[in-house]
Every structure is written in C-alpha cells, then in structure tokens.
Amino acid sequence: MDNTKVISLGGSLIAPSGVDAAFLKSFTEIVRGYLEEDGKRKLIVVCGGGSLAREYQRAYREIAREPSDSEQDWIGIQATWLNGELMRRLFTPYCVEPLVTDPESVSVFYGRVLVAAGWKPGFSTDFDAVLLAKRFSADTVLNPTDVPRVFSADPRKDPQARPFDRMSWDEFKAVIGGEWKPGRNSPFDPVAARQAAEDRLKVVVCLGKDLVNFGKILRGGEFVGTTIGPD
C-alpha cells in the first residue's frame, strides 16, 4: 500500500510522566491534517508504554521474589494497550478497527488509521511496527522519540556524542548493541532493527515533540532526523 505509513510512537511521548495531553492533542491534529489532504492516505500508529510501563515494571522488580524479564515485558505490554486504547479513541472516526495486539492477525483495515500496541515478550513495540510495515507493504517506519537524531553515544551522558543524519543498519546495530531488556530506552530496539534490516526497511528517527518537523517527514519534505537503511 503506497499510501500507508507506519508510525512507531514512543511511549516517552505519550506518557513521559503521566499522559501528555497537550502533545497528544497536537499530534492528532497534525495527523488529521495530513489525512485530510488526500483521501487515500492511511496511517498505522503503534503505541509504546511510557512512564506507566516503567513505573509498574519497577514496582514488580522491587517486590517480586524472583523477577523475570518475561513478566516485566507482560506488564509493559499491558501499559501499551492502555495507551493504544486512548490513541484509538482520539482518532474517531478515522479508526474503526479494534486495537491491534497481534500484528500477525490483521491483513486489512477499512478505516484511515489503525492503532496497534504491544504483542508478546522479547521486544518492544518497534518490532510490531516493523511487522505491520511488511504486512501492509510500507517501506518506511517513522519513529518519533525523545531524541532529535541517533547519536554515537547517549548525548545526555557524553558531550562528545556525534549525531548521524544517515546510517546503515550495520552502523546502527553497532551503536545500540544486540540485546533487548524490558524497559530499555533506545531509539529503535535491537530485535526490531534486525528485522528491519532483513526486510530492507527504512526507519526515520526524529524528535517527536517537534511536530512541525514531523509533518515535513510525513509529507516527504526536508527534515531534521536520522534515516537508517535500507542497506
């Protein structure tokens, strides 16, 4: 579907510390404007868990006698479902399908917006976005996050960190490593990166709070961010 784009919306934008209603209002307005310009355009929005996931995972680790990564993932997944339900209802009447919690179970959607959330342990919602991109023949995943670009290191900890405008998947994987941990905060998760490289997808990482810039990305204009792949 040439007119379908996939957005992997970081939970740190939806709920950085509680739900960010101002951001969601602006985000939905940008998306609605994009859709209304062309009646053939469709969007898939995959929602992360944000502060709700991290708070409950932290409580689980502190209280459980033998905390496991799988159980932490399930807690985070439930948080993405709550964020996803909120997002789905914000896109009424564009979104007519129920929240997608299994990207392999859906092959068609009749509305203009499809909203998805976490699926199962072992990866973040970035991986769900990659699977849905392949399922609906989208060649690009837009990844608004809490950083403006991918850096060679965490710029909040390393002032010498270098930003990238463009990277290969091999270069990106060298920066982020290959291990997934529940609650991990990285521009795009390692499991999703491996699948995106295999599928020859392009991923655009950008600062989610800069919605003017995000609108330019949606429309194929010049933007600030990092383009990863395809190799």
What's the confidence (pLDDT) of residue 71? 94
Instruction: Identify the band that residue 136 occupies on the pLDDT scale cut at 50, 70 and 90.
Output: very high
> pLDDT-derived band of residue 181, with 50, 70 and 90 as boundaries?
low
| Domain extents in the chain | 4-228
Q: Quote the tokens at residue 2.
A: 């040439």
175/169 Cα distance (integer angstroms): 10
* Mean local confidence (pLDDT), 114-143: 94
Confidence check: pLDDT of 96 > 60: yes
d(CA 69, CA 229): 30
Per-residue pLDDT band for 63 (boundaries 50, 70, 90) equals very high
Chain centroid to CA 231: 21
% pLDDT > 90, the chain: 80
What is the spatial distance between Cα 128 and Cα 124, in angstroms, rounded to a whole number?
A: 7
Higher pLDDT, 67 or 1: 67
225: number of Cβ within 10 Å: 27
Instruction: Convert 48-110 into a string of H (helix), E (strand) and C (coil).
Output: CCHHHHHHHHHHHHHHCCCCCHHHHHHHHHHHHHHHHHHHHHHCCCCCCCCCECCCCCCCCCC
Look at residues 126, 227, 224 and name the one whose alpha carbon lies nearest to residue 167. 227
Per DSSP, the three-state class of 178 is coil
Which pLDDT value is given to residue 182?
A: 57
CATH architecture of the domain 4-228 equals 3-Layer(aba) Sandwich (3.40)
CB atoms within 10 A of CB 53: 26
Q: What is the pLDDT of residues 20-41, one digit of tens each?
A: 999 999 999 999 999 999 999 9
Q: What is the mean pLDDT of residues 91-101?
A: 97
